[in-house]
Amino acid sequence: MERQAHLTKGASVRYTTLGRTGITVSRIALGTMMLGAWGNKDHDDAVRLVHTALDAGVNFVDTADMYSAGESEQIVGRALKGRRDDVVLATKVHFPMGDDPNRRGNSRRWIRRAVEDSLRRLDTDRIDLYQIHRPDPTTDLDETLSVLSDLVREGKVLAIGSSDFPAEQLVESRWIAERRGHVPFHTEQPPYSVFMRGIERGVLPTAERHGVGVLTWSPLASGWLAGRYRKQAPLVLNDFRRDLIAHKFDQTLPGNVRKYEVVEELVKLAEEAGLPLTHLALGFVLAHRAVDSAIIGPRTVEQLTDLLAAADVTLDDAVLDRIDELVPPGTDLNPADADYTPPHLADPALRRRIQG
C-alpha cells in the first residue's frame, strides 16, 4: 500500500515497499550521478539539491563508487550528516576505480575493498542497498553472491541488488543462491523509459514473478524526454554526453533519428494531457506494475523541483495506449542505447563453431 508525504506545491511523494525487503522507499528516488565532476561541480549546491529532495519526502538516494571517481559518494555522505537514519542509501560496485586491473569487476577481492571505500566516502557504517553495477563474465556469480552474503551477515550491507542484469542471469542468480545458501539479489536496477522498453520482454516480468524489487534509471532517456533535443534545434551536447554516452545521440543511427519524430509526437500528447513532457515520461515509468521506484538524476535544484512535481501524476489508459502506438511494448527505440551487451553478442567468436 502506498503512503504519501505532502510537498509545499501540492504534489505528493508516494511510498511503497521495495520488493520483498520490507524496506519502505519513495517511488521517486534521487540519483546522484550528476553530482560532482560529471555535472554539478559546486559541492554546496549539490548538497542543497540533496536536502531539497529529502525535505520534499524523498527517502531513497542512489549513487555509485564510479560516479565522478567517488566524488558523488563524498557529496552524498556530506549531505546525509545528521539525516542518515531517515534515508535508504544505495550504492554500486563494478566499474574501474583506477588503473590496477583488480580494482574493478565483481570478484570477492575487489568487492571486499570497494565496500570499505564506499563506506568511508559515504561516512556511514552500513549501506542499505549494495548493487552490482553490471554483470562480470570473468567472475563466477557464485563468487559474487558469496561475498555479498558475507557482507549482509556482517551488517555492512543490509540488502543486495543487481543492475542491467538480463532476465536469464536474474533467474540463474536465484538458483545459485538457493543451492549455495547465499542471500539472493533483492533488487534489479535497469534503464527504463518510453525510448527503452526492452526490459518489458523479460526483466520486468521475471522480477515480478520472483518478488525482486525494481528501481529503474534514466526515465528521461538522457535528456531526450526532457524536450532538450528537438528537430528545429542544433544538437548541442555537454561533455558528459559527448564523451561518455555519445552513442545515444549519434545521428548515423536510425534509432536516434527516430527519437526526434517520437519526441514531437510525445510533446503533442503531453500537451493534450495537460502535462509537461518530463511528467509524462516519469508517469509512464511509474505506471508499470513491476516498478517500485524510478531514479531521477537532476543536476540542478530547478530540474529536481520540476520532477518532484510529477510525483502524483497518473496516466490514464488512453495516454498509455498512445505511447504503446509510438513505441511498441518491449522495444528499444535505439538498440545501441543498451549499456550492457552480453559477451556472446559482442564477440563473434562466442557464436561460431570452431572449424576443423
Domains by residue range for the chain, with CATH: 3-223+277-314 (3.20.20.100)
Q: What is the reported pTM?
A: 0.94
Catalytic, 340? Answer no
The three cell numbers locating residue 306? 520540476
Does the structure show a pLDDT above 70 at 11? no
**Vertex 42 angle, CA 38 and 47, to 5°:** 100
Residue 80, classed as helix, strand or coil, is coil
Reported as a single tens digit per residue, the pLDDT across 162-180 is 999 999 999 999 999 999 9
Residue 162, classed as helix, strand or coil, is strand
Mean pLDDT of 249-273: 92
Helix (DSSP H) and strand (DSSP E) numbers for the chain: 12, 11
Reported as a single tens digit per residue, the pLDDT across 276-320 is 999 999 999 999 999 999 999 999 999 999 999 998 899 999 999
Catalytic residue among 67, 130, 192, 229: 67
Q: How far apart are CA 123 and CA 119, in angstroms?
A: 6
The pLDDT value recorded for residue 301 is 96
